[in-house]
Structure 1
Amino acid sequence: MGNSYIFSLTPTFTQGLVLGQLSILVLLALVLKYLFFIPPESETETVPFHPLSKSNPSWHQDVKEDDKDSIPEQESAHWFNILARQVVEVYRAKLQNNLTGYEGIEVARRKIEDHANNLRPRGFLDHITVHSVDLGMSAPKLSNAQVVNDNDGDSAPTTIEFDMSYTDTISVSLSTSYLFNYPMSSFARLPVSLTISLSLFESKVTLVPPSPASAAPVLTISLPQDFTLNLKTTSLMGSRAMLRDVPKLHELIEYQVRKVLALRGTWKVILPGMASLATVQQEIEKEQAASKEQG
């Protein structure tokens, strides 16, 4: 028989190499048979494979259609009303230096009086004395949030629109004198006492997201020109013979308030890290110049 044999309890290096190769071949055959191959008697349907490419944007379209279907025509703005009320309360508190009661109202009265005298035309109005202020208790309420225009993938941003209504007890009572400078400076004075209170303010609020194509992307919040403003004005004019509630004075005050809201009814919120205040101001000046040229 001799001493020749293939395997032993202590295999050599050559025997171990052969055994390892055989085990790998057996494992590979099992994997191919049960994972990739199918029996000849079974019938299965082969699904073709189409890799996604930029030339086939169907998957982008599906995502956009899903987003459109998930957006309702009108969205509740209750969450925003809660946030807006808290913001208004912060402004009221800061205007009163976080004081309450009479002390807080007195602080707010002095601040409003100082601000009014800084803005008054000194050649026409005497010192303005603010007698009382009411900062109100309510806040603007938004409703009927909806998408106004959807650009379907266009670079222009989508516009969101809200309905806003504000009814409150906010009011201010003041007195001053109108100066007559003819035939000489301060020739005569006409005392005027006013109480102005807000009855109703209603308007659309337009929210325009920032545009990626803009050099200074900003979030734009604006009010249209056709808002509803109802002010209640009581007035006394004169020293001895007094005129009460002059209609022309009421029209003048309401016109000035409307003018201020129309001029300052657009707010631009700078995105953090996107642009500086100077860059945004330059973009606004360019837009105003372009609108004047078109007009």
Structure 2
Amino acid sequence: MSDSLLDVHIKHTLQTVHGKMPMEIALSLPKGRILAITGPSGAGKTTLLRQIAGLLTPETGKITFGNQVWLDSAAQGSVAPQLRNIGFVFQDYALFPHLTVEENLLFGLPKGSDRSIVDDLLNATELSNLAIRKPNQLSGGQQQRVALARALVRKPDLLLLDEPFAALDYDMRYHLQDMLLKFHRQHNLTMILVTHDIGEIFRLADQVAIIENGKIFRQGTPAEVYANEQSKTEDFVIFGEVLSCIKQADQLLVSALVENKVRQLTLPLNLAPEMIPGNTFTLHYPMDVARVTLIRH
């Protein structure tokens, strides 16, 4: 018996700017895990989320969730999207413009449910003071919090997020990532996140799958998939973002996003207070790696 909560085995034909492209995906996701999906535009990432949600039907395949069969093309069976208990956060937020913040959340609340969860989520997402505003009166970060709260109000078994923080500045993106991790820990959420942000993948995901040309090109933990390039000691100045930091003997082993590549840096122990995941940094190499100094922003 598989310990996977979600199993996806589908085949589909994607219509791309270069013509038709076969899509063939097989993946499994255990309960309570976060899977990040990344890859070039047009590879099939959003299509896959929509197929899992039941908003798009693949040509052939099977999707199971626990003991439920959500899709079985061989048996010509498919469970309607509203019966899959999925929370979906779209890239464009998809809020109802004529409804207030509170009304958007109430719309997502299943009939007969206790509405106190709406108040709880408004408080948790720091939206209580904005409850009577409409989406066009909110900033991008505020709209994204509404979209996230609306997806969570139905207490979903599975949360799907399609590049939810891509349009936000760094500080807001980090704040919402932190909020998402808090919800994940509190409710043991199972999530699939589409993102192009490698720092976001390292911060949020247990597993990452790179999709290219409609197929999973590589899959594993973020470290297994990305951390395969060594830093160059001849670099004079390094600008980066800390992904992870481990103390080992008398040094720090730091995984950092540098120029869109994951680098492994060996640094002095005195930099430990600065090498916190999510921190950005500038490292200056005067002569050699043993005398790295930090230039604070």
The answer to whether the superposition gives a TM-score over 0.5 is no
The structure whose RCO (Cα within 8 Å, separation 6+) is larger is: 2
Superposition TM-score tier, normalisation by shorter sequence: under 0.3
Q: Name the structure with the higher helix share.
A: 1
Q: What's the TM-score, normalizing by structure 2?
A: 0.21
Q: What's the TM-score, normalizing by structure 1?
A: 0.21
CA radius of gyration, larger in: 1
